[in-house]
Structure 1
Amino acid sequence: MITQAQKDLVKATVPVLRENGVLLTTHFYKRMFVHNPELKNVFNMGNQQNGRQQTALAMAVLAYAEHIENPGVLMPVVNGIGQKHVSLDIRPEHYAIVGEHLLASISEVLGETATPEIIDAWEVAYTQLAQIMSGHETKLYRQQVEKKGGWTGWRPFVVREKIQESAEITSFHLYPTDGGAVADFIPGQFISVRLFLPELNLLQPRQYSISNAPNGLYYRISVKKEVSGNPNPDGMISNRLHNFINPGDLIDVSAPTGTFVLKNENDNPVVFISGGVGQTPLISMLEQLIKTGSKKPKTWIHGARNKDVHAFKEMIEYWADDEKAIKKHIFYSTEVQNSIANEFYTGWVELDVLGNELMTEHTDYYICGPAPFISKHYNNLVSKGISKDYIHFEEFAPQTLSLN
């Protein structure tokens, strides 16, 4: 049990964490991978390379130190991190390894200011945090296996179909090799896939949103090819799927999880706002609403560079024009409007050009895309008087946005 004196010592490190948190977590990851290189097969090395994982961990450690008096207020954060951990098959024994290297890093980075009393306080505090996290994750694992067709850890799936959706995005239909059912999920959730990367000589996990509504038979992921000449490991996985994975090939898959999900307990209008491949979880949500005959007013707002890279274009047009199930607004940033059909808007997604009819009370807004895209539209909605409770978003990376 952590004492009040130890809580005070942990809180006293908050200014240092604000100033040097990323330095600390960067040192921590380097140290851990030197001493426990096997964990390179567990952690997403792409997020290590771009620094997002270090930043996300620094923010989490700082938040815990700031709320050490009442860590219960962090449960939404704990749940979000726990969902990611379950997707990556993180187990309680991993916390012991992380704790050893985190405490050593605090001592090594802070030097003489990291007194034995501070290290002892952080050891007790970390033990408390590990118990909270692993306890919550145990519940999540149990919930997974209680579902029909559910499982924990990695399960082999076969690619049955590989469909090119645009010049950059390809869909993969994944079926379990054991012939069993697959667990239903809440639209918006993701799965992890795991591939061996010869370039790194490592197994690497990568999380992809499920881009279809639940059907009990298969999951569809829709993957953007990385066109950079020197992609990071995330891009390597996406490109390996594009270039080397074909129908009949096997990949490891974890069960669906995630907190960015469709809120379907009311009749509120819904507005989906996406940029590029950020539409994938929103497609799942929209398909579910249409499939179940939802009477919610539905608006689809999407931005892409041009028609060639616009995935699911025909599907959205069918739902909008033939089925009259949705209203659509499409933006192309590099394509100029050259007809009077008003088929699309030229430029980046701008909600203001659509008028105020979308800015209504009790409308649920779902935003997905790069972090700057999310921030722009989140802040725009808030400035128009939309309550933060009705704005839902997800980054395609370790969470570094603090908008709510």
Structure 2
Amino acid sequence: MLNSKTIEIVKITAPVLKEHSHQIGKRFYELLFRTAPELMNIFNQTNQKKGIQQEALGYVVYAAGEYITDLGALTPVIRRINEKHRAIGIRADQYPIVGETLLQAVKDVLGDAATQEILDAWGQAYGYIANLFIQMEGELYEKTEKQAGGWSGYRRFIVDKREKETKEVTSFYLKPEDGKAIASYKAGQYLTLKAEIPGESYTHIRHYSLSDAPGKDYYRISVKREGALSNDPEGIVSHYLHDQVQIGDALLFSAPAGDFVLSADEFPIVFISGGIGITPLLSMLNDVVKRQPQRMVYFIHATKNSETHAFQSHLAELAQSNSHVKFYVCYTAPTQDDLVSHRFDKAGHIDLDMLLSIKPDEPARYYLCGSIPFMEDILKKLSELNVPKEHVQYESFSPIAMLDEE
């Protein structure tokens, strides 16, 4: 345990680290990749270039300091990080170099203000938190490998089928190359791909939500083509999958992971998705219709128009064949054909009136997935509708830990 003096120093200096979090994050990754360039095979280089990873690191460091005596308050963040660390293969022996590099980054950014006493206190705090993470992730590794059909590290999967959902979205059906059983998963979880792309110096790791219900002999991911060009950092992996990966090709995946899962109760569910954020919610919907057909589900999906609307027919059929499923569509820029055929319920963005008209009278569980601005907007509107914070869960396709934190 940490002594009272160390705790006091960490809590007092946490706001200072928050103030300089971006600079510390930027300096940290500069030093880390210089010291251990092999880690570039693990960290998302697109997020590095966009500054997202640095921001996420800064948030975690500050939050850990602020809640050093009550890490239980950070349980959702810690669980999310543990799941991602297990998925990408973070090892216990990598924590020391991260800690040393972080302290050096703090020293470089804060200069003389980072006294030895402050650095020592944060070093002890980091060691305490790192040991907690190592223990929790060790348990995850063991559980994942020992489960039926489980495995450690990355396993080779063959693309059994490709299915074009829209001009931008393609589904990939994956079966294990070894022909053995595959691990089940909870609806809402994701697979982690290690992409070995010809011409790239390092591997690229990406998380892709599983887009179908569990219980099948295959996995399905549905990938949106990102970025305008194949050499756009944001689109390197998605262009590789869309343009180069064909039926019969092998890809490397770690076992399913993620903390974005359905509650075990029977409260009504409200799914709210934007664009490709539909994928984990579709998995949840398919699962709940199969396991809890009497549970009320309200599904709101927002996208540009029918040309970008993945799984439109499937969702409409589910709603038509199941009276407990209500499906609503919001097109921000409907085509002329959409206007004529009335394929959507609202033009423009999801607004307060739309949410109010759909909101169940009884308490419900809300699940969100989409872009960061989209979810921030929906979270704000749900707050205005007095939806309890603990009734809302979301999946962020980003390393930023919490959307509703200052």
| TM-score higher than 0.5 | yes
Q: Among all aligned residue pairs of Structure 1 and Structure 2, give the percentage whose two residues are the same amino acid.
A: 37
What SS is found at the alignment partner of 1:247?
Answer: coil
Alignment of 1:214-225 (within 5 A): 214-225=214-225
State the alpha-carbon separation in 1 of the partners of residues 227 and 309 from structure 2: 16
Between 1:286-295 and 1:371-380, the stretch displaced more is: 286-295
Distance 1:249 1:342, change over 3 A: closer
Contact 1:260 1:393 (C-alpha < 8 Å) held by counterparts: yes
State the alpha-carbon separation in 1 of the partners of residues 18 and 6 from structure 2: 19
Between 1:358-367 and 1:252-261, the stretch displaced more is: 358-367
CA shift, 1:22, in A, is 1.1
Amino acid at match of 1:330: V
CA shift, 1:127, in A, is 0.8
Distance 1:355 1:8, change over 3 A: closer
CA shift, 1:249, in A, is 0.6
Distance 1:342 1:34, change over 3 A: closer
Contact 1:359 1:381 (C-alpha < 8 Å) held by counterparts: no
1:236 paired to 2:236: yes
Between 1:325-334 and 1:244-253, the stretch displaced more is: 325-334
CA shift, 1:247, in A, is 0.7
Amino acid at match of 1:298: V
Contact 1:269 1:364 (C-alpha < 8 Å) held by counterparts: yes
State the alpha-carbon separation in 1 of the partners of residues 319 and 275 from structure 2: 19
Q: Report Cα offsets for 1:149-183 as digits up to 9, x if no partner.
A: 01121111111011101111000011111111111
What SS is found at the alignment partner of 2:270?
Answer: strand
Contact 1:359 1:384 (C-alpha < 8 Å) held by counterparts: no
Q: Which runs of 5+ in 1 are unaligned?
A: none
Contact 2:82 2:133 (C-alpha < 8 Å) held by counterparts: yes
Alignment of 1:29-44 (within 5 A): 29-44=29-44
Amino acid at match of 1:308: E
Between 1:9-18 and 1:223-232, the stretch displaced more is: 223-232
Which residue in the other structure is 1:381 paired with? 382
Q: Report Cα offsets for 1:19-67 as digits up to 9, x if no partner.
A: 1011001100011101111100011111111111111110100011112
State the alpha-carbon separation in 2 of the partners of residues 343 and 118 from structure 1: 57
State the alpha-carbon separation in 2 of the partners of residues 268 and 176 from structure 1: 36
Which residue in the other structure is 2:152 paired with? 152
State the alpha-carbon separation in 2 of the partners of residues 375 and 199 from structure 1: 37
Which residue in the other structure is 2:365 paired with? 364
CA shift, 1:74, in A, is 2.3
Q: Which runs of 5+ in 2 are unaligned?
A: none
What SS is found at the alignment partner of 1:349?
Answer: coil
CA shift, 1:200, in A, is 3.5
C-alpha RMSD of matched pairs (Å): 1.8
CA shift, 1:231, in A, is 6.0
Which residue in the other structure is 1:397 paired with? 398
CA shift, 1:145, in A, is 1.8
What SS is found at the alignment partner of 2:170?
Answer: strand
Amino acid at match of 1:217: D
Amino acid at match of 1:398: P
Contact 1:52 1:400 (C-alpha < 8 Å) held by counterparts: no
What SS is found at the alignment partner of 2:340?
Answer: coil
State the alpha-carbon separation in 1 of the partners of residues 247 and 100 from structure 2: 43
Which residue in the other structure is 1:285 paired with? 284
What SS is found at the alignment partner of 1:296?
Answer: coil
Which residue in the other structure is 1:6 paired with? 6
Contact 2:229 2:235 (C-alpha < 8 Å) held by counterparts: no
Q: Report Cα offsets for 1:223-269 as digits up to 9, x if no partner.
A: 00024247654421011000000111111101111111111x22211
Between 1:62-71 and 1:16-25, the stretch displaced more is: 62-71
Contact 1:181 1:216 (C-alpha < 8 Å) held by counterparts: no
1:310 paired to 2:309: yes
The TM-score, its normalising length taken from structure 2, stands at: 0.94
CA shift, 1:369, in A, is 0.2
Amino acid at match of 2:77: V
Distance 1:23 1:43, change over 3 A: same
CA shift, 1:199, in A, is 4.9
Which residue in the other structure is 2:329 paired with? 330
Contact 2:190 2:208 (C-alpha < 8 Å) held by counterparts: yes
CA shift, 1:293, in A, is 4.7
Distance 1:182 1:230, change over 3 A: closer
What SS is found at the alignment partner of 2:142?
Answer: helix
Distance 1:99 1:293, change over 3 A: closer
Contact 2:15 2:62 (C-alpha < 8 Å) held by counterparts: no
Q: Report Cα offsets for 1:201-240 as digits up to 9, x if no partner.
A: 1111000000010124111000000242476544210110
Contact 2:268 2:360 (C-alpha < 8 Å) held by counterparts: no
State the alpha-carbon separation in 2 of the partners of residues 123 and 298 from structure 1: 48
CA shift, 1:72, in A, is 3.5
State the alpha-carbon separation in 2 of the partners of residues 85 and 315 from structure 1: 34
